[in-house]
Structure 1
Amino acid sequence: MKLVTWNTQWCRGLDGMVSPRRIVEGARALADFDVLCLQEVASGYTRMPGAPADQPAELQALLPGFRLFFGAAVEEFDAQGGHLRFGNLIATRLPVAMVRHHPLPWPADPAVSTMPRMCTVVTLNSPDLGAVRVMTTHLEYYSAAQRSAQARALRALHAEACEQAAAPPQAGDEHSPFQPKPHTQQAILCGDFNMEATDPAHAEIQQPFGLQAAGGTPGMRLQDAWPIVHGQRPHDPTFRLFDKQYGPEPAAFDFVFVSEPLIPRLRRIEVDRQSRASDHQPVVVELEG
């Protein structure tokens, strides 16, 4: 299974042009992906630079054979009643069993400008891997306190899903919302975390949980895929590589975490260091059965 994750900056390249087509073509050049996870997808914000239109609809047209799931972290209306949405999107050509959208914590922080954040989760069925829970997110940039709370919430979401897989609820009516759900401990968490690997929140996501912390159960925690594949080699930068608006030094802000059952299946994780189709670089990860 091949997955590409990319903060698209509402599909706005460093030349100022907004082009969902260029994002899709750039992702395809990186890999023949089965799953595409995009952050900062916009709809209706025509006053933002580049005037993005209905990007979920545009991306759907560009991805025939894929199903798209858009989770709006921000959903609001302008003075003219226009419908504005901004959030994350998962597109996949694999069979989908369940979709969930989780708002993340947004504690008050009056010192900075912030916005709501969320995590979209799609449980899919891979021919090679079986059921895999794909989670994509975009954490707060300006508030470290909010970002830390959001990291803890992501870990809690993963822990809850693992507990559901270990002890599923009783089966209900197969023709109602109580029908059995496809819980799995195989998970991929990816996106723009707006922090470097040295940030305490990066370690927080990877902390053990529940009985695992006491050594009572096999490990199911999330782990950063980069050092698993590349060892001590520093993360390739994914932000500020070309655009210095937010700082002079390149940094890795975009990560892929995998749950421990998927670690033996992890084969590749790389960063496209050439693309200028966004202010972030896309990341590809490949897993085999």
Structure 2
Amino acid sequence: MIRIITWNTQWGLGVDEQVDLKRLVDEARAIADFDVLCLQEISDNFPELKGNNGGNQFAEIAALLPDYTAIEGAALDIPGRSGGRSRFGNMILSRFPVAQVLRYTLPWEAAATRNMPRLLLEAVVEIPTGPLRVMTTHLEYSSDALRQAQVRGIREAHRTAYERTVTLRENGPGTYALFPTSPAAVLTGDFNMRPDDPVKQRISEPFDNGAPALLDAWQVTHVPTPHPPSFCLFEQSNGPPHCCDFIFVTEDLAPRISRIIYDQKTRASDHQPVLIELDM
């Protein structure tokens, strides 16, 4: 069995307005003895964020989980106000060995809203039964048009990843070395869309090249039960409680889902973490 948790951390800012990364990790561990942890909204050198001391959270979280391989995915990389670089993005931590890592900059089209670049972070995790592609992302909050473009980017990343499993490239030395990959994948993150959003549903549409479809794991196992809320559960300044955090699995993995839960207790972020367990 493999256990994966995804969580938008809000840089560790809890409902109590305290930033505490150790609390975040401890509460994730309390949910499950996770094998892979996918995180969004990790910051480095951003003291202007509420409650943030400006530290490198990528490094701090890696230090809290020394037995995991820590993969950084900074979508935003800009000059820091007090020097250095300020970064903001996603992170994957894996108990299992990690082969190749890919960072896809998602389409960033012109929009007059407040927005920023977004990233799809992919790590090939070498679980005992073989390689598994784990992806995590955080889509734009303010613009439906940008989310549409970003979903196209996610689908293209998955489509081409599948193509590379069908047509293997030539192996070679050094930078040309061939690493294991797989058509099987798990996609996690904060999609900033509600379950019935047509843009969100687009993620699960078939591919014309035979790539396995990405299915909403909750819908696979719980239809017609609605998704539990994952945002605004304890604080409603952004609207009533609703779900915008999802886990998708390729259709070949759907029969392997043994459990998916939305934690409704923790207040360590403004989002709730989601756990999936797969029999592998």
Flag whether TM exceeds 0.5 (same fold).
yes
Q: Shift in Å at residue 80 of structure 1?
A: 3.1
Gaps of at least 5 residues in structure 1 are 213-218
Tell me, what secondary structure is at the counterpart of 2:12?
coil
1:188 maps to which residue? 186
1:271 maps to which residue? 262
2: distance between equivalents of 1:230 and 1:204? 19
1:215 maps to which residue? none
2:118 maps to which residue? 117
CA RMSD of aligned residues (A): 1.1
Q: Give yes or no for the alignment of 1:51 onto 2:64.
A: no
After superposition, residues 1-289 of structure 1 pair within 5 angstroms as: 1-52=2-53, 53-110=55-112, 112-127=113-128, 129-169=129-169, 171-173=170-172, 175-212=173-210, 220-247=212-239, 249-289=240-280
2: distance between equivalents of 1:194 and 1:211? 28
Q: Shift in Å at residue 182 of structure 1?
A: 1.8
- Paired AA for residue 172 in structure 1: N
* 2:45/2:80 contact within 8 Å kept: no
The number of residue pairs the alignment matches comes to: 278
- Paired AA for residue 168 in structure 2: P
- Paired AA for residue 235 in structure 1: H
* 1:168/1:183 contact within 8 Å kept: no
- Paired AA for residue 222 in structure 1: L
Q: Residues 111-147 of structure 1: CA distance to partner in whole angstroms, max 9, x if unpaired?
A: x1001100110001111x4210000000000011001
* 1:5/1:283 contact within 8 Å kept: yes
- Paired AA for residue 252 in structure 2: P
Q: Which ranges of 4 or more aligned residues in structure 1 deviate by more than 2 Å? A: none
TM-score, normalised relative to structure 1: 0.94
1: distance between equivalents of 2:212 and 2:94? 24
Q: Shift in Å at residue 94 of structure 1?
A: 0.2
Q: Residues 134-184 of structure 1: CA distance to partner in whole angstroms, max 9, x if unpaired?
A: 000000000110011101110111111111112222x322x3221223231
CA 1:225/1:103 → structure 2, altered by over 3 Å: closer, same or farther? Answer: same
* 2:89/2:119 contact within 8 Å kept: yes
Gaps of at least 5 residues in structure 2 are none
